[in-house]
């Protein structure tokens, strides 16, 4: 092995090791698990938005339309509009599970309570005619417990759970009532002091921020952490770089979710949810780059847009083994499940195919971004299930815009053409290797 190849192998091994450590970092892993748990609710919200703003508008107008749209509005209220409230206890549960802590439900309850403790006690409201501003108490704002408060829910959920677990492990703080009391009662007293201390500490912080800082933790987290992080990770260069690194890792056998699921999903899902909220309310849709945008135009047939490789193989490959793998992989690929082709073709450690595997999604995403930016197609406004087949997912994700189907179709055609020469090189390498072994 030459010095250059040794250096390349060492670099790849080190890069992979660092990436795995990032993906397995307990807070990021808990965050990834939490989003996976509540994802069905966001998909349900997308269905509600789609029904309200696409299907109902085809058949109803005026007051009748408004009456029918209450259905979708209630779905949005129970999903998107409490996204921050939902994420806090789920993050707490996932972190306690990853910490192997026994009272996972207790950790989730403390996380939820901790988030409410940090909410502002006084809200500023404006009259309907926009002429008067007044303060109200005794209410929680959808702005704080909804999409805007998701990052606050994540951070407070993690902090509250970590405090609760550490305090629970201190023997002096455990009140043991013995074995003669019901288990539920005994467990509640075991964590009584840790619960009191955790929530009291959070309440002191909230009070200090209100009295001396004239602000609250939700606003601070949103302005100092959520928005800067979102702007970096969802800028076009930042998004493409992180996403491409994840895809490159997949080419070396490390699932792309290790990077994308931890660094991209939290901020991309926030963008998706804000787009759905704006679309449901009839407002301008703010973001181009969302989780649905990535899934629709960067994962056609799965990671690496491998539906393009499958079609290219069916049309132009003469290699029997490749065509057999393609035949087995085609149906799953139509539903964006592409592990069979990644490990069976294979793409893993297949250097010729790694190039289009990483670059095809980049070109497709750039093309879709440009088409969206110039107004040729709508922005993504509906969170569709990731298993929705290509072309159909583009139509649904953009609220029924047929132009998105055209954009995705062009991207697939380009991907097929781009994959062909690398597929041929890969087959040539495979045949020569087989001949050498003989």
Give the number of C-alpha atoms closer than 13 A to the C-alpha of residue 152, restricted to the C-beta side: 28
Which of 63-67, 162-166, 226-230, 346-350 ranks highest by mean pLDDT? 162-166
Helix (H) or strand (E) holding 134: strand 133-137
Grade residue 432 by pLDDT with cuts at 50, 70 and 90: confident
In the beta sheet, which residues pair with residue 137? 122
CA-wise closest residue to 274 among 260, 284, 264: 284
Contact 76, 277 (CB under 8 A): yes
**CA–CA gap between residue 317 and residue 338 (Å, rounded):** 19
**CA–CA gap between residue 17 and residue 391 (Å, rounded):** 37
pLDDT of residue 157: 95
Is the peptide bond between 347 and the residue preceding it cis, with omega within 30 degrees of 0? no
Whether 406 has a pLDDT exceeding 60, the answer reads yes
Q: Please give the structure tokens belonging to residue 281.
A: 């309310």
Helix (H) or strand (E) holding 126: strand 122-126
pLDDT of residue 133: 76
Contact 247, 357 (CB under 8 A): yes
Q: Can you tell me whether residue 125 is helix, strand or coil?
A: strand
**CA–CA gap between residue 260 and residue 303 (Å, rounded):** 11
Task: Output the DSSP codes for 199-226.
Answer: HHHHHHHHHHHHHHHSS-HHHHHIIIII
**CA–CA gap between residue 192 and residue 360 (Å, rounded):** 55
Task: Output the DSSP codes for 249-314.
Answer: HHTTTS-THHHIIIIIHHHHHHHHHHHHHHHHHTPPP--S--HHHHHHHH-TTSTT-THHHHHHHH
Q: Please give the structure tokens belonging to residue 29.
A: 């892993």
Q: What is the mean pLDDT of the chain?
A: 86
pLDDT of residue 436: 63
106 vs 54, higher pLDDT: 106
CA-wise closest residue to 94 among 22, 20, 35, 167: 35
Grade residue 23 by pLDDT with cuts at 50, 70 and 90: low
Contact 338, 329 (CB under 8 A): yes
- 423 φ, ψ to 5°? -65, -45
Helix (H) or strand (E) holding 135: strand 133-137
Contact 115, 85 (CB under 8 A): yes
Determine what percent of the chain is predicted with pLDDT higher than 70.
Answer: 91
Q: Which residues contact 343 (CB under 8 A, 6 or more apart)?
A: none
Whether 392 has a pLDDT exceeding 60, the answer reads yes
In total, the chain counts a number of residues equal to: 438
**CA–CA gap between residue 203 and residue 199 (Å, rounded):** 6
How many C-beta atoms lie closer than 10 Å to residue 109's C-beta?
Answer: 18
Give the number of C-alpha atoms closer than 13 A to the C-alpha of residue 391, restricted to the C-beta side: 7
In the beta sheet, which residues pair with residue 136? 123
**What would the mean pLDDT of 314-333 be, rounded to a whole number?**
88
* pTM reported for the whole predicted model: 0.78
How would you classify residue 282: left for phi > 0, otherwise alpha for psi between -120 and 50, otherwise beta? left
Tell me the pLDDT tens digit for each residue of 80-102. 889 889 999 999 999 999 999 98
Q: Which residues contact 147 (CB under 8 A, 6 or more apart)?
A: 80, 81, 83, 84, 270, 273, 274, 277
Handedness of CA 33, 35, 38, 39 (dihedral sign): negative
pLDDT of residue 256: 76
pLDDT of residue 49: 84
Contact 304, 353 (CB under 8 A): no
Q: Which residues contact 152 (CB under 8 A, 6 or more apart)?
A: 84, 115, 118, 144, 217, 218, 221, 222, 226
Whether 437 has a pLDDT exceeding 80, the answer reads no
Determine what percent of the chain is predicted with pLDDT higher than 90.
Answer: 40
pLDDT of residue 14: 65
Q: Please give the structure tokens belonging to residue 251.
A: 């080419």
């Amino acid at each position: 092995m030459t010095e250059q190849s040794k250096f390349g192998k060492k670099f790849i091994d080190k890069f992979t090791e660092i990436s795995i450590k990032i993906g397995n970092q307990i807070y990021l892993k808990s965050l990834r698990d939490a989003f996976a748990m509540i994802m069905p609710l966001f998909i349900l919200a997308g269905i509600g938005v789609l029904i309200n703003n696409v299907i109902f508008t085809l058949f109803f107008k005026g007051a009748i339309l408004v009456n029918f749209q209450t259905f979708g509005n209630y779905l949005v209220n129970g999903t998107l509009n409490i996204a921050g409230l939902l994420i806090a206890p789920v993050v707490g549960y996932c972190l306690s599970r990853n910490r192997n802590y026994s009272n996972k439900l207790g950790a989730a309850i403390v996380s939820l309570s901790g988030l409410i403790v940090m909410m502002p006690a006084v809200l500023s409201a404006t009259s309907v005619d926009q002429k008067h501003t007044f303060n109200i108490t005794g209410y929680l704002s959808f702005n704080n417990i909804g999409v805007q408060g998701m990052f606050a829910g994540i951070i407070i959920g993690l902090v509250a759970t970590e405090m609760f677990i550490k305090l629970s492990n201190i023997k002096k703080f455990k009140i043991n009532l013995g074995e003669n009391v019901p288990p539920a009662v005994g467990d509640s007293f075991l964590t009584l002091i840790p619960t009191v201390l955790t929530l009291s500490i959070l309440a002191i912080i909230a009070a200090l921020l209100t009295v001396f800082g004239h602000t609250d933790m939700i606003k601070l987290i949103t302005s100092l952490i959520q928005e800067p992080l979102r702007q970096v990770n969802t800028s076009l260069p930042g998004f493409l770089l992180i996403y491409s690194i994840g895809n490159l890792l997949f080419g070396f056998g490390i699932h792309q979710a290790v990077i994308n699921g931890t660094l991209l999903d939290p901020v991309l899902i926030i963008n998706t949810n804000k787009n759905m909220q704006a679309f449901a309310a009839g407002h301008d849709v703010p973001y181009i780059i969302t989780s649905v945008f990535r899934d629709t135009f960067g994962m056609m047939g799965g990671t690496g847009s491998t539906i393009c490789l499958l079609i290219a193989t069916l049309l132009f490959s003469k290699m029997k083994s490749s065509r057999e793998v393609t035949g087995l992989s085609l149906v799953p690929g139509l539903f964006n499940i592409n592990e069979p082709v990644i490990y069976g073709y294979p793409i893993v450690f297949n250097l010729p195919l790694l190039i289009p595997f990483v670059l095809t999604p980049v070109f497709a995403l750039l093309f879709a971004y440009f088409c969206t930016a110039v107004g040729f197609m709508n922005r993504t406004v509906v969170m569709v299930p990731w298993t929705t087949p290509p072309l159909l997912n583009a139509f649904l994700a953009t609220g029924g815009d047929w132009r998105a189907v055209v954009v995705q179709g062009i991207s697939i055609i380009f991907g097929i053409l781009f994959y062909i020469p690398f597929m041929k090189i890969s087959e040539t390498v495979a045949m020569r290797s087989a001949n050498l072994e003989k």
